[in-house]
Every structure is written in structure tokens, then in C-alpha cells.
Amino acid sequence: MSDVEHRAGAGGTQPVEAAGPPFAECVLCREPTEYPESHKGVTLCPVCEWQEAQRTACSG
């Protein structure tokens, strides 16, 4: 009869935005980083990481 399956969205489970392990937030802009939450130390997203690299590169 109905070949259309139910789609999640109407009062069901919330859709998962990103698959995979939870990633730590960037400490500067709170964007998801490439590091897992179990990562020790400061976690920076690729953008902030690049900016930090530029900054540290300039300071002797």
C-alpha cells in the first residue's frame, strides 16, 4: 500500500546533525573543533588555530 516510510521530524527523535564522536568546542568562538571532547588542553577550531599560528609566528 504505502511505500512512503515515516520520516522523523514530527514529534519524533531529533535529527542528528553530525555523525561521529562529540567534538570539543573551540575555546574562542565555540565552533566545533576537530578534537574529541576527551582532548586535553585548549581546543581550537581550524580557523582559530590558524589565527593563533599566525599570531605566535609574528611574536618573536
Which spans of this chain sit near Zn ion (rule: CB under 5 A)? Answer: 26, 28-29, 31, 45, 48
Residues 10/16/32/21 CA torsion (nearest 10 deg): 160
Shortest distance (Å) from residue 34 CB to Zn ion: 11
Nearer to Zn ion, 8 or 39 (CB): 39
**How many Å apart are CA 51 and CA 60, to the nearest integer?**
16
Nearer to Zn ion, 31 or 34 (CB): 31
Nearer to Zn ion, 24 or 45 (CB): 45
Rounded to 5 degrees, φ, ψ at 25 are -85, 150
